C-alpha cells in the first residue's frame, strides 16, 4: 500500500507541518537559534543532543545517531510502519489520502479475507486446547511452567490429530479449501486429492505482525517421534518468514510501558517458549522464523532498538546461528545500528532460567552483554590455535577483511583499528599498534596508487583509455543494475546491502538508491512502471541502452541476464555477493598496502592479493557452472 504515496503527496504533507510541532508532542523542545533542542527520546542523556530544524525538515539525534524527517521520526519513536506514519500525518495536515489502485485494492481484499480465516482458526485452536482432546497439551504446558492464566495472553492453542478437523470447521463457516491452502492452513497434495490440515496433534503458537494481527502459525509436535518437532506455516501473500519476528507486538507493548527513564533491551532468542519466558519476566523479546536473522529482520529490529541483544543457545547450533548473524550484519552496521550478545549461563535457555531461578535472575543474565566488535574478535581468535606465525598472520588477515566488509567507511576504519589493537594485545611484548592519521593514510594510498600504475606499465595511450573507461561503470556492476531495472524485485533479499553499497560502482549509486526507495514505497512495480518512475525522477531516457552497452562487456560473468524467473534472481544474488566480496577485498588490499610501511607485514598483503586475484578470475569465468570454474576460494 506504500505505493499510493508518491513524492508530491509526501511533500504536500511535509509542507503543511512543522517538524518542531509534530516532534514537540513527544519531545520537550526549546528554541536555540534557528533550531530546537531537547533530550533524546531514544537514549538516556542529561545534556540535550537532540535537534530539530524546521528549515531543513529534519531531526538530528547525536546521542543515538538517528536522523530523518517527520515520517521516520514517527516510525522510530512510536514504532509505526511507513504507511501508518503517513496516514497519521496526512490526517493531521488535512491532506486527503490518494485513491487506492484498483489492482492493489483487490490484492488487499484477498489478503484481508485470508487474515479473517487465520483469526477464526486461532480462536478454534484456543478452544481446542481447553477441550478433552487438548488434555496432554495442557499437561505439557503446565510441566513447562506456563500456567493457564498466561495461555490467553499468548493465544496458545492446540490442533487435534484429525486429518481434516480444522478444514471441516472452517468450510462449515463458509471458507473455500483453496483459500485455506493459500493461507497456509491446509496442504494440497502434490499428487492431487483433497487438501488436509497442515497442523495436527501440535501445540499452536500464533504468529502475529507488528500490530498483533495473525499472519501464520507455528506448531510443536506432541508426538516425540514426529519428523519435525517444530513446524511453521509456509510463505504466503501475508506471511514472509524473512520479515516476521515472533512476539514483536507484545515486545512493543513492553517497551512502550517502560518508564520514561528506562530503556529496556530488545532480546532476540531462539524459540517460541524462550520468547514467552522473557515476556512473562517483563523482558521484550522476539524470535526469528529460522535459526539466523535475515537482513529484513535486522532492519525491523533496528527500528525498535539501536543495539538489540542476541541470545542464542550455547550449543553448536546456537553458536553457528550467532556467527551467521554476525556475517550478515557486518555490512549493515553504522552509528546507532549494531548488536550485543548475551549467553545464558550453564548451557540453559531463557525458559529454563525463568522456571528455575525467576525473572530477576533472567534479567541479570541477559544484562551481561558483549559488544559486537568484541564478540567478533573472540570468534576469530578461537577459530584455530595461534601457535605458529602462519596462523597468527591468518588471524590478522581475517580481521582486516571483516572490518573491510562494513559499508560505512568511518566505522570500517574504527573496526579495523579496534580489532588490530585486540590482536596486538594477545602478545603484549610486541610493539603496539599505533593509529595512522588521515594524512599518513592518504600518503600511503598515493604511494600505492603510483606503484600500481608502474606495475601496470601505464602509457599516455593507456591512461587515455582508462579515462574513457572510467566514464562507464564496471561491466558486472552495470549488468547487476540493468537486471534490477528490468526486475526491481530482484534486489529484495539484498535491499539493505544495495542501499548501503550500491551495485559495486559509485557511478551507479544514485540509481541504486532510487531502486531501493522504489521497492520500499511501491512493492510489486514492474519494468515499464519502474522505468517511467525513474525517468520522472530525472534519470536519462537512454538509461537502458547505456546500461546494456556497459553490461554487454560483462560476458559470462553475468549469467543472470540470460536466465529467467527464480533462476535469474538466484544467479543475480550470487553475482552480487561475489562482487561485494571483491570490493571488500580490494579495500582490504589498499588498506594493507597503506599499512605496509608501518608494520612491515607483507604476508597479510600477499594473502589478501591472492584471494582478490582468485575472485577476479572467478568472476571472469562462467562461475554459474561449477564444472567450468574454480570451486574453492582460498583462505
SS (H, E, C) 182-230: HCCCEECCCCCCCCEECCCCEEEEEEECCCCCEEEEEEEECCCCCCCCE
Report pLDDT for 184: 95
Q: What is the pLDDT of residues 191-237, one digit of tens each?
A: 888 999 999 999 999 999 887 889 999 999 999 888 889 999 999 98
Q: At what angle do helices 272-280 and 350-357 cross, to 10 degrees?
A: 40
Greater confidence, 505 or 308? 308
Q: What's the CA gap between 561 and 99, in Å, rounded?
A: 36
The stretch 493-518 carries a mean pLDDT of 81
The 3-state DSSP composition of the chain as helix, strand, coil percent (nearest 5) reads 55, 10, 35
Please, what is the average pLDDT of the chain? 82
C-alpha–C-alpha distance, residues 182 and 238, integer Å: 10
SS (H, E, C) 132-164: HHHHHHHHHHHHCCCCHHHHHHHCCEEECCCCC
Q: How far apart are CA 148 and CA 183, in angstroms?
A: 29
pLDDT band at 243 (very low <50, low <70, confident <90, very high): confident
**Collapsing DSSP states into helix, strand and coil, what is residue 434?**
coil
pLDDT tops 60 at residue 292: yes
Instruction: Report which secondary-structure segment, H or E, holds 390.
Output: helix 389-404
Q: Alpha-carbon distance 612 to 475, whole Å?
A: 17
Cα–Cα dist 602/608, whole Å? 10
Residue of 415 and 47 predicted with greater confidence? 415
Task: Report residue 345's pLDDT band, with 50, 70 and 90 as the boundaries.
Answer: confident
Q: What b/e string do you get for 84-103 counting C-beta neighbours within 10 Å, with b at 16 or more?
A: bbbbbbbeeeebeeeeeeee
Q: What is the pLDDT of residues 374-411, one digit of tens each?
A: 999 999 999 999 999 999 999 999 999 999 999 998 99
Residues 542-594 pLDDT 10s: 777 888 888 888 887 888 888 888 888 889 888 888 888 888 888 777 777 77
Reported confidence tier of residue 439, pLDDT bands at 50, 70, 90: very low
Longest Cα–Cα distance of the chain, Å, equals: 88
Considering only residues 43 and 391, tell me which one the structure prediction assigns the higher pLDDT. 391
Please say whether the dihedral angle defined by the alpha carbons of residues 491, 493, 497 and 499, taken in this order, is positive or negative: positive
Instruction: Quick: pLDDT tens for 174-195.
Output: 999 999 999 999 999 988 889 9
Kindly state the percentage of the chain with pLDDT values over 90.
38
CA distance 300 to 241: 13
C-alpha 634/C-alpha 617 separation (Å) is 12
User: pTM higher than 0.75, yes or no?
Assistant: no
- What the chain holds in terms of domains, given with CATH numbers, is 2-93 (3.90.580.10), 102-232 (3.90.980.10), 248-377 (3.40.1360.10), 472-628 (1.10.860)
Tell how far CA 416 is from the center of its chain.
23
Each residue's pLDDT tens digit, 5-18: 777 788 889 888 99
The mean pLDDT of 91-108, rounded to a whole number, is 78
Report whether pLDDT(442) > 90: no
Joined together, the cell numbers standing for residue 25 give 508532542
Q: Which residues contact 590 (CB under 8 A, 6 or more apart)?
A: 445, 448
Q: Is the pLDDT of residue 521 over 50?
A: yes
| Three cell numbers, residue 280 | 512473562
> Residue 52 — very low, low, confident or very high, per pLDDT cuts 50/70/90?
very high
Question: 627 or 507: which carries more pLDDT confidence?
Answer: 507
Q: Which residues pair with 197 in a beta bridge?
A: 186
Amino acid at each position: 500500500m506504500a505505493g499510493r504515496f508518491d513524492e508530491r503527496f509526501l511533500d504536500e504533507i511535509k509542507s503543511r507541518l512543522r517538524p518542531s510541532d509534530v516532534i514537540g508532542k513527544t519531545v520537550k523542545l526549546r528554541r536555540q537559534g534557528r533550531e530546537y533542542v531537547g533530550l533524546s527520546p531514544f537514549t538516556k542523556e542529561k545534556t540535550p543532543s537532540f535537534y530539530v530544524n524546521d528549515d531543513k525538515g529534519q531531526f538530528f539525534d547525536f546521542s543515538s545517531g538517528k536522523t530523518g524527517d517527520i515520517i521516520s521520526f514517527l516510525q522510530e519513536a512510536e514504532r509505526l510502519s511507513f504507511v501508518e506514519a503517513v496516514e497519521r500525518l496526512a490526517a493531521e495536515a488535512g491532506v486527503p489520502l490518494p485513491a487506492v489502485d484498483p489492482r492493489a485494492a483487490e490484492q488487499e481484499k484477498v489478503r484481508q479475507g485470508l487474515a479473517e480465516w487465520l483469526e477464526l482458526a486461532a480462536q478454534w485452536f484456543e478452544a481446542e486446547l481447553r477441550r478433552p482432546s487438548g488434555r496432554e497439551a495442557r499437561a505439557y504446558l503446565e510441566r513447562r511452567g506456563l500456567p493457564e492464566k498466561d495461555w490467553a495472553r499468548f493465544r496458545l492453542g492446540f490442533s487435534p490429530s484429525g486429518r481434516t478437523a480444522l478444514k471441516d470447521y472452517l468450510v462449515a463457516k463458509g471458507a473455500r479449501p483453496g483459500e485455506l491452502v493459500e493461507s497456509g492452513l491446509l496442504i494440497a497434495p502434490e499428487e492431487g486429492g483433497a487438501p488436509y490440515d497442515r497442523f495436527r496433534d501440535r501445540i499452536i503458537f500464533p504468529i502475529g505482525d507488528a500490530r498483533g494481527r495473525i499472519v501464520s502459525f507455528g506448531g510443536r509436535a506432541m508426538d516425540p517421534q514426529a519428523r519435525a518437532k517444530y513446524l511453521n506455516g509456509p510463505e504466503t501473500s501475508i506471511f514472509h518468514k524473512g520479515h516476521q519476528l515472533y512476539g514483536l507486538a507484545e515486545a512493543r507493548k513492553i517497551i512502550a510501558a517502560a518508564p520514561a527513564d528506562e530503556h529496556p533491551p530488545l532480546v532476540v532468542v531462539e524459540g517460541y517458549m524462550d520468547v514467552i519466558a522473557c515476556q512473562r519476566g517483563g523482558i521484550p523479546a522476539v524470535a526469528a522464523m529460522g535459526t539466523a536473522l535475515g537482513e529484513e529482520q535486522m532492519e525491523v529490529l533496528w527500528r525498535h532498538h539501536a543495539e538489540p541483544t542476541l541470545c542464542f543457545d550455547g550449543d553448536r547450533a546456537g553458536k553457528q546461528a550467532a556467527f551467521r548473524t554476525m556475517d550478515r550484519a557486518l555490512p549493515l552496521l553504522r552509528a546507532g545500528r549494531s548488536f550485543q550478545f548475551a549467553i545464558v549461563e550453564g548451557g540453559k535457555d531463557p525458559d529454563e532460567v525463568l522456571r528455575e531461578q525467576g525473572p530477576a535472575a533472567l534479567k541479570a543474565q541477559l544484562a551481561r552483554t558483549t559488544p559486537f566488535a568484541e564478540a567478533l574478535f573472540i570468534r576469530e581468535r578461537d577459530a584455530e590455535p595461534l601457535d605458529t606465525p602462519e596462523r597468527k598472520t591468518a588471524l590478522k588477515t581475517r580481521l582486516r577483511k571483516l572490518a573491510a566488509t562494513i559499508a560505512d567507511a568511518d566505522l570500517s576504519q574504527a573496526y579495523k583499528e579496534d580489532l588490530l589493537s585486540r590482536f596486538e594485545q594477545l602478545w603484549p611484548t610486541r610493539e603496539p599498534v599505533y593509529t595512522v592519521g588521515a594524512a599518513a593514510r592518504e600518503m600511503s594510498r598515493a604511494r600505492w596508487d603510483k606503484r600500481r600504475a608502474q606495475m601496470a606499465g601505464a602509457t599516455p595511450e593507456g591512461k587515455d583509455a582508462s579515462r574513457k573507461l572510467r566514464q562507464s561503470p564496471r561491466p558486472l556492476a552495470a549488468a547487476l543494475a540493468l537486471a534490477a531495472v528490468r526486475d526491481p524485485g530482484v534486489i529484495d533479499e539484498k535491499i539493505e546491502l544495495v542501499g548501503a553499497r550500491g551495485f559495486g560502482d559509485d557511478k551507479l549509486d544514485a540509481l541504486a538508491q532510487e531502486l531501493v526507495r522504489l521497492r520500499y514505497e511501491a512493492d510489486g512495480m514492474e519494468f515499464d512502471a519502474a522505468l517511467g518512475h525513474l525517468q520522472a525522477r530525472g534519470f536519462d531516457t537512454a538509461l537502458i541502452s547505456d546500461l546494456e552497452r556497459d553490461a554487454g562487456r560483462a560476458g559470462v560473468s553475468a549469467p543472470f541476464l540470460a536466465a529467467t524467473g527464480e533462476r535469474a534472481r538466484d544467479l543475480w544474488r550470487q553475482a552480487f555477493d561475489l562482487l561485494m566480496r571483491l570490493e571488500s577485498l580490494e579495500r582490504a588490499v589498499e588498506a594493507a598496502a597503506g599499512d605496509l610501511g608501518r608494520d612491515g607485514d607483507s604476508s597479510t598483503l600477499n594473502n589478501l592479493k591472492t584471494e582478490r586475484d582468485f575472485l577476479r578470475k572467478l568472476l571472469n569465468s562462467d562461475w554459474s557452472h561449477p564444472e567450468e570454474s574454480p570451486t574453492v576460494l582460498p583462505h
